[in-house]
Structure 1
Amino acid sequence: MAIPLAFILLISVVDVNLPTTIHLGPLLVVAPALTASFGGPVMTGFVGAVAVVAQVMIAFLHGGIETLNHQVQIFALLAVSSVIFVYSYLRDRRVRQLAQVRSVSEAAQRVILRPLPRRIGPLRISSMYIAATAEAHVGGDLYAAARTVGGTRLLIGDVRGKGLGSLSDAALLLCAFREASHRHSALPKLATHLEGSVCRNLTELAETNAIASECFVTAAITDIPDREPVVHVIDCGHPPPLLLHGEQVLPLEPRQKCPPLGLGELTEEDHRPETFPFEPGDIMLLYTDGIIEARDGAGRFYPLAERLPAWADEDADTLIRLLHDDLLRHVGGRLDDDAAAIAIQRLPTGPAGPPRRRAPGGRSP
């Protein structure tokens, strides 16, 4: 506020002390224009009024307030200051509307994409979500966790498309997962239930929206028992989870992949989980293709598997933070697709502390 007022004072003093043939009064319009860049309409209007008063005082002290030249300068300054005031008012209203939209977006994120618990059973969980749509906080990528009797189930998925246009399909799958995770004890039954929910929803939408018939959802569904150092995985067309075991990065890719959800109703026989070692101290990373398909300025994909060994000694929270920062550096600060990731760290159990890491002993079908 002091800067535009000082500017008015400086111009007025210099103008009064210059010959009457030199007029600096038109420069006073800079003061309300400058105020509009950081202040609201009230502040802008006040500075504009002070500038007009200063112009009148300059004309009075020059003894020419009745001259047409000074009258035109006063009228022009008043008109331009009024325009700036209106602009400031409209901009302030737009800023308030944007703040309301942002608050609605944040509320939608909390309702649809609930924050994952930091600790669930013997697991420490950390997650990140980067929406591709500007000013959005949630899009077509999704994740969820559910506590079951003796274990934890996690889902990560990616709806075809990106941004807010795919939000409804993401919400449907999340609701179906939260509802069915506690009712189906077997992982194949859960996957079959999710497949049916997505197919039914897309069939209903296809009646009014032709694009819905081309939609599908890739997903990875995992079941982590509390008392067994393993993880069961069903992969429905999704990038395979990565296991950080020591400095080794192992893709948990089932021998038999299922097609994405929504391309055709499959049976429980089609959804066969595969079991992989998941020992205390290991970190499993679930992620969407928005991460591995992110390109830098030269068109190179983000090398996720190559980056992870450098973070082998970090916990889940630090790993996610490093991944977030490194990914944005790789793409220059802006992603073209939604991106999500979950780091799950199995904590050591018992008083003896974490066991020594060993090379993985393979996987069982």
Structure 2
Amino acid sequence: MDAGHYLVRLWQRWHSTHALVAIPLMLIAAITLADVRTPGSVHLGPLLVAAPAITTAFAGPRLTGLIGALALGAQTFLAARVGGVATSDHIAQLAGLAALSVFAVLVCYVRDRHKEQLAQVRSVSEAAQRALLRPLPERLGPLHIASSYLAAEKEAHIGGDLYAVARTGERTRVIIGDVRGKGLSAVGEAAMLLGAFQEAAHQHAALHVLADALDRSVHRYLTQFPEADEEAQEHFITALLLEIPDHSPVARMTVCGHPTPLLIRHGTVTGIASPHTAPPLGTWELGPDTPRTAHAFSFLAGDTLLLYTDGVMEARDPTRTFYPLEERVAHCAKNSPTALVYHVQQDLLAHAHGALCDDAALLAIQRSPTAPLGGLHLGDLVHGVGRQVRTHEEHQQTV
């Protein structure tokens, strides 16, 4: 948060607090005036205890103590008018008001301390999220990128969803994933996978080979200390790997148990179905029975890909209806990646009434409309993509 935003929030807080302080002040004045005008047999002074009690709802210990002192002064004034302050009844009233005011100040002090501690925890959480999920660049080669992360826990800023990009030569590689489970173990597994991706993305030429390397890394991590986690064998990470060359209108993806992306082209939204979906990462012991492959599809200048995690599709409204992602994306299909992600994020929160059942991550990638793609015609493009897919499948069968 920059200095300007901090000052604005500080001013708003100060303004709202000092506007609300008029309530206990008016209450003290009204009770005092009413007590003065009523017959001597009617004593309204004990009602002054409401002033410091109300102040604790919006003010700190100092302001609450000041309101308590003013109420005590008003009580003393009223007692002096009828019988004097030294009477046992008035002494009891003053003592009770003083005790309640001190208690109100203590409540404000403890509450503010807890707020400071919570603010520190949030600060650490935000720092951890920035370290784990580093902010993605808005531009990377010919690509425009926008992302969003919504944690299911209201007070949390981090969870088991993940995304990252890596620039390798004249291509961009992307990963988006979802760790099974919650808590610190999920955060640890997400951090491990992101680190492994940033390193392995530069070492393996083929996308499916990169996926195999990540699978082995996750498997080693989950089985390194089996005695520390009895459920380690049940942990896994769904992931989708994407590779986008700078100068070719073709993108490739390897799906490891993860939802496939949506392709937005000329305002039309279509799902990209992968003919081969491999098991999630961390299931390396399954061996060659389920080989991973790279599926090629056209990704033209001006196209946008929307990647997401399960938390987006599984968000429900009060009637238990799932969020219709593809239908809602169609309403903002012509937006920029930043506007698209923001629209889906706000619409998702509105659909779920702010109560997500799982973490939700969104990642929009648009190829610049002016990006040079080697001058291929659309017919050549479709034929080339089909040829790449068939060649790759034949290679897999040979292996």
Q: TM-score, length-normalised on structure 1?
A: 0.93
Q: Is 1:222 matched up with 2:228?
A: no
3-state SS in 2 of match to 1:143: strand
Partner of 2:100: 80
2:125 alignment partner in structure 1 = 105
Question: Match of 1:307?
Answer: 328
Q: 1:37 aligns with which of 42, 46, 57?
A: 57
State the Cα distance separating 1:29 from its structure 2 match.
1.1
- Inter-partner Cα distance in structure 2 for 1:356 and 1:244: 19
**Identity over aligned residues, as a percent?**
49
Say if 1:192 and 1:268, in contact at 8 Å, map to a contact too.
no
Higher alpha-carbon deviation: 186-195 or 156-165: 156-165
Residue 269 of structure 1: CA displacement? 8.9
Change in Cα spacing, 1:236 to 1:350, as seen in structure 2 (3 Å) is closer
Deviation at 1:164, TM superposition (A): 4.8
Is the CA contact 1:290–1:337 (under 8 Å) kept in the aligned structure 2? yes
**Residues matched between the structures, number:** 363
Given candidates 270, 288, 291, the residue that maps to 2:309 is 288
Partner SS, residue 311 of structure 1? coil
Q: Residues of 1 paired with 2:187 and 2:207: CA distance?
A: 25
Q: Does residue 59 of structure 1 match 2:79?
A: yes
Q: Residues 339-354 of structure 1: matches in 2 within 5 Å?
A: 339-349=360-370
Spell out the pairing of 1:50-199 with structure 2 (5 A cutoff).
50-162=70-182, 164-199=184-219
Matches of 1:316 and 1:232, distance apart in 2: 20
Is residue 314–residue 357 contact of structure 2 (8 Å, CA) maintained in 1?
Answer: no
Q: Report the Cα offset of residue 357 of structure 1.
A: 9.3
CA shift, 1:250, in A, is 2.6
- Aligned residue for 2:70, secondary structure, equals helix
CA contact (8 A) 2:175 2:240 kept: yes
- Tell me the amino acid that sits aligned with residue 322 of structure 2: F
Structure 1's consecutive aligned runs of 4 or more residues displaced over 3 angstroms after TM superposition are: 162-165, 265-269, 355-358, 360-363
Aligned partner letter, 1:220: L
CA distance in 2, matches of 1:268, 1:241: 25
Residues 1:338 and 2:359 are matched in the alignment: yes
Can you list the C-alpha shifts for 1:20-64, whole angstroms capped at 9, x where unaligned? 211111111111112111111111112112211221111012233
Change (3 A) 1:356 1:290: farther
Alignment partners' CA distance in 1, 2:94 and 2:154: 43
Matched, 1:241 2:261: yes
Shift of 1:297: 1.5
CA-to-aligned-CA distance 1:322-356 (integer Å, 9 cap, x gap): 1111111211122111000101000123699xx99
Letter in 2 for 1:318: A
Q: Per-residue CA shift, 1:237-273, capped at 9, x if unaligned?
A: 0001111122332322221111000122456992221
**1:274 pairs with one of 275, 288, 295:** 295
Q: 1: CA distance between counterparts of 2:256 and 2:337?
A: 25
Change (3 A) 1:357 1:101: farther
Q: 1:207 to 1:47 in 2, by over 3 A?
A: same
Measure, in 1, the Cα distance between the counterparts of 2:63 and 2:197. 52
Asked if 1 retains the 8 angstrom alpha-carbon contact of 2:142 and 2:371, the reply is no
Q: CA deviation at 1:165?
A: 4.8
- Gap runs ≥5 in structure 1: none
Alpha carbons 1:249, 1:309 under 8 Å: kept:
yes
Query: Is the contact made by 1:16 and 1:62 (CA closer than 8 Å) also made in structure 2?
Result: no
1:302 partner amino acid: Y
In terms of mean alpha carbon deviation, does 157-166 or 90-99 score higher? 157-166
**In 1, are the aligned partners of 2:247 and 2:372 still within 8 Å (CA)?**
no
Within 1, Cα distance between the matches of 2:267 and 2:140?
25
| 1:189-248 CA distance string (max 9 Å, x none) | 321221111101100242211122211000000000000011110000000111112233
More helix by share: 2
Using the alignment, how far apart are the partners of 1:195 and 1:350 within structure 2? 33
Letter in 1 for 2:324: P
Is the 8 Å Cα contact of residues 132 and 163 (structure 1) preserved in structure 2?
Answer: no
Equivalent pair of 2:255/2:277 in contact (CA under 8 Å): yes
Q: Which moved more, 1:207-216 or 1:244-253?
A: 244-253
1:318 aligns with 2:342: no
The residue that corresponds to 1:5 in the other structure is 25
Task: Supply the AA of the counterpart residue of 1:9.
Answer: A
5+ residue gaps, structure 2: 1-20, 390-399
Task: Compute the RMSD of aligned alpha carbons.
Answer: 2.3
Deviation at 1:2, TM superposition (A): 3.3
- Say which is worse superposed, 149-158 or 160-169, in terms of deviation: 160-169
Tell me the SS of whatever aligns to 2:192: helix
